[in-house]
């Protein structure tokens, strides 16, 4: 099920709000940030910059962050490893929804 850009934007912003409410220091970067500032028109993935000390909490949150019954897909071919050592260097992690891993009980 494709989602509109508005739906994705609201989901990603809500995800960061949830992360911050759990004490996870993170921010949306790259394409979504460019769209927010009018530099670009659209993007479909979410690039997250995370404080190294919040890395595991962010991964835990992403493990429960569904959109339309889908879990996120980590775009490892575009990202550094999901490891606090890389986060410490300022690398971002790329995620996209929906992935092919749909949760049971969702249609």
Rounded mean pLDDT of the chain?
Answer: 77
Torsion region of 76: left, alpha or beta (phi above 0 gives left; psi -120 to 50 gives alpha) = alpha
- Please tell me the total count of domains within the chain: 1
Question: Structural domain of residue 48, as residue ranges?
Answer: 5-96
| Cut 0.75: pTM above it | no
Q: What angle do CA 96, 43, 49 make, to 5 degrees?
A: 60
Task: Give a yes or no: residue 56 inside a domain.
Answer: yes
The answer to whether residue 36 is domain-embedded is yes
- Does 101 fall in a domain? no
| 64-107 pLDDT tens trace | 888 888 888 887 777 777 787 888 888 877 788 765 555 444 44
């Amino acid at each position: 099920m494709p989602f509109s850009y508005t739906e994705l934007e609201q989901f990603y912003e809500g995800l960061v709000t949830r992360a911050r409410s759990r004490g996870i220091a993170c921010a949306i970067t790259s394409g979504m940030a460019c769209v927010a500032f009018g530099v670009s028109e659209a993007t479909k993935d979410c690039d997250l910059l995370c404080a190294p000390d919040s890395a595991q909490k962010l991964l835990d949150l992403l493990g429960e962050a569904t959109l339309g019954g889908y879990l996120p897909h980590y775009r490892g071919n575009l990202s550094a490893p999901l490891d606090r050592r890389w986060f410490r260097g300022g690398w971002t992690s790329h995620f996209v929804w929906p992935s092919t891993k749909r949760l049971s009980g969702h249609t």
